[in-house]
Chains A and B, each alone.
Chain A
Amino acid sequence: MRYAEWCIAAPTLEADIAAAAMGLDDIGHSRVLYGSLRELGTPDAAADDAATYANVPYLDRPWTEWTQFVAANAVLDSAFTLMMEALANGSVDVLRTRLKKMLQEERYHTLHGRSWMQEVNAGAALERAWREALAWIGPENSDVDELHRAGRLAYGVRDLRRLLEERLEGQAAPNALEWAGWEPIRRRTQPGGIDQATLEMLQGLAEKRYMPASG
Chain B
Amino acid sequence: MPYTRVHAEVHEYDVFARKTRVEPLHQVGSVVAPDDDLAMAYARATYDEERWVEMMIVPKAAIISLWAPGGDS
Identify the A interface with B (CB < 8 A).
Answer: 11-12, 14-15, 17-18, 20-22, 108-109, 111-112, 114-116, 118-120
Measured in the bound complex, the distance between the Cα atoms of B34 and A118 in whole Å is: 10
In the bound complex, residues from chain A placing their C-beta under 8 Å from that of B31 are 14
In the bound complex, residues from chain A placing their C-beta under 8 Å from that of B35 are 115, 118
Beta-carbon nearest neighbor of A25 in chain B:
B45
- Are A108 and B32 CB-contacts (below 8 A) given A12-B5, A14-B46? no
Q: Is the pair A111, B37 in contact by a Cβ cutoff of 8 Å?
A: yes
Residue among A20, A21, A22, A116 making CB contact with B38, cutoff 8 Å: A116
Give a binary string over B14-56; 1 marks a CB under 8 Å from any A CB, 0 the rest.
0000000000000000011111011011101110100000000
Identify the B interface with A (CB < 8 A).
Answer: 5-7, 31-35, 37-38, 40-42, 44-46, 48
- Are A14 and B33 CB-contacts (below 8 A) given A21-B48, A108-B44, A119-B7? yes
In the bound complex, residues from chain A placing their C-beta under 8 Å from that of B46 are 14, 17-18, 21
Q: Is the pair B45, A21 in contact by a Cβ cutoff of 8 Å?
A: yes
Q: Is the pair A112, B38 in contact by a Cβ cutoff of 8 Å?
A: yes
* Nearest chain A CB to B10 CB, angstrom units: 9
- Are A108 and B41 CB-contacts (below 8 A) given A14-B33, A14-B46, A115-B34? yes
Having A109-B41, A118-B35, A119-B7, one finds 20 other A-B pairs with CB under 8 Å, namely A12-B5, A14-B32, A14-B33, A17-B46, A18-B41, A18-B42, A18-B45, A18-B46, A21-B44, A22-B45, A108-B41, A108-B44, A108-B45, A111-B37, A112-B41, A115-B33, A115-B37, A115-B38, A119-B6, A120-B6
In the bound complex, residues from chain B placing their C-beta under 8 Å from that of A18 are 41-42, 45-46
* Nearest chain B CB to A13 CB, angstrom units: 9
Residue among B6, B33, B34, B40 making CB contact with A108, cutoff 8 Å: B40
Beta-carbon nearest neighbor of A105 in chain B:
B44
* Nearest chain A CB to B40 CB, angstrom units: 5
Measured in the bound complex, the distance between the Cα atoms of B43 and A108 in whole Å is: 10
Measured in the bound complex, the distance between the Cα atoms of B5 and A133 in whole Å is: 31
29 A-B interface contacts by CB (under 8 A): A11-B6, A12-B6, A12-B32, A14-B38, A14-B42, A14-B45, A17-B46, A18-B41, A18-B45, A21-B44, A21-B45, A21-B46, A108-B40, A108-B41, A108-B44, A108-B45, A111-B38, A111-B41, A112-B37, A112-B38, A112-B42, A114-B37, A115-B33, A115-B35, A115-B37, A115-B38, A118-B35, A119-B7, A120-B6
